[in-house]
Chains A and B, each alone.
Chain A
Amino acid sequence: MPWNLDSDRPIFIQIIEKIQMDIISGQYAPGDKLPSVRELAQEASVNPNTMQKALSELERTGLVYSQRTSGRYITEDTAMIAELKSTLAKDIVTQFLDKMFRLGIPEEEVIPFISKIIEGDDHDTVRM
C-alpha cells in the first residue's frame, strides 16, 4: 500500500512528516530500527534517493540516528519526541485558531465551544 502523498508538495517533506507522525503516535518506539532505504522507498512507492534525503534530514534533526553498519534507529531521547509532539500540536492549534477567527468566532468563545464538543453536548453547537 503506497503512502498517501500529494504531488504538489516536495515528497521528501511529506515523508519526514509521515515518519515524525509514526514516531509520535508510537508506531515506532524509541530505539526501534527503521527498515532500509530501499524497503521504505518501495513501501512508499517513491524514489530511493528521495527517501534517502528525507532520512538524512531526520538524522540531521536528531530524531533518527544511524549506526555505521547496522542501519538507522529512532532516537531514544524521549524528551525530544515529546518536544516534537508539542511543536506539532502547537501548529495544529495555531491553524485551528486561525480558521476559527476567520469564521468570526471571538477568542473568548473558542474554549467554551471546544468544551461543549468534548462533553459530547454538540446539539447546542449550532446555536452559538
Chain B
Amino acid sequence: MTLLECKNLTKKYGKHTALNDISLQIDGGHIIGLLGPNGSGKTTLIKLITGLLCPTAGSVYVKEEPIGPASKNLISYLPDHSYLNGNLKVREIIDFFADFYEDFDSLRAYDMMAKLQINPCQKLKTLSKGAQEKVQLILVMSRHASLYILDEPLAGVDPAARDYILDTILSNYDEDSSILISTHLISDIENILDGVIFIKDGLLHTHALVDELREQDRKSIDTIFREVFKC
C-alpha cells in the first residue's frame, strides 16, 4: 500500500523555486535516505510532507489522506531544530508526549533513555548537545507511527552512540511503517537503507533501491553521492 504520495510538488519562496515538480511514492516497510547537498530542498520537502509549509502547487497524501490532522497523526517527525522547552525535565517531556500522542509508548522511551544513560530527572538544557539530540530521537521513535521522518538525526551524536541509534531505528519501527531519513552522514547509514532519493537543485534526481545502484555502478552510495553532487 502506498504510504506517502507526492504529486507534482512545487514550492516557491518568492522568485526562488526550492522544489520543482517532485512526484514520488513510498510504500510501507522501507527505510529511505533523503540525500542532497545543502540547499537542495530536502528540508522543504520534509516540511511539505509534515504540513509545516503549503505547496505552491501539487499535493501530498499520507495513506490517501491529504495533509491535515489525520496525516499528522500518522507521521512522527524529528525536525532539524529542537522545539522542546529546555527547562523541562526529560521525564516531564516524556509525559508531555504521552499526553499529546495516542501512539506514544512511554515504556519504550524510558527503556531507550536507560540504554543511552540519560537520566530522566535531568533538565533538558543541562544535557550535552549530543544527549539532547538522543532525547529527541528517542521521543520520535517511541511513537507507533506509520511514517517516521528524521531530519539530520545523527549530526551531533558520537559514532558509538550512532551505532546504537541505528540499531534502535532498526529494532523499533513496525514492519508496515517506513522511515525517511535526511542526512549527510551517508556512509554511516547506507547499510540500513533500502531505498534512496537524491534531490538536486529542487529536482528529483534519483529514486532507486540502494542495492540496484550498487550493482549498476559498483560503488557505494556515498561515492555515488559525491560524484552526482561534485562541486
Contact = CB atoms under 8 A, between A and B. Distances in A.
Interface of A: 2, 5-13, 38, 41-42, 45-50, 53
A47 B193 contact: yes
B95 to A, nearest CB: 30
A56 B30 CA distance: 17
B223 interface: yes
Interface residues of B, number: 26
Nearest to A41: B170
Given A12-B211, A47-B194, A50-B211, A7 B167 contact: no
B222 A48 contact: no
A45 B170 contact: yes
17 contacts: A2-B163, A6-B220, A7-B214, A7-B221, A7-B222, A8-B219, A8-B220, A10-B212, A12-B211, A13-B211, A38-B171, A42-B171, A45-B166, A47-B194, A49-B29, A49-B194, A50-B194
A11 B170 contact: no
A41 B219 CA distance: 22
A46 B192 contact: yes
A56 to B, nearest CB: 13
Contacts, number: 57
Give 6 closest A-B pairs by Cβ, nearest first.
A7-B220, A10-B211, A47-B194, A8-B220, A49-B194, A10-B214
Contacts of A6: 220
Interface in B192-226: 192-194, 210-212, 214-215, 218-223
Nearest to B211: A10
A7 B212 CA distance: 12
Contacts of B212: 10
Nearest to A3: B191
Given A8-B220, A12-B211, A47 B167 contact: no
B193 A7 contact: no
B192 A9 contact: no
A13 B218 CA distance: 12
B190 interface: yes
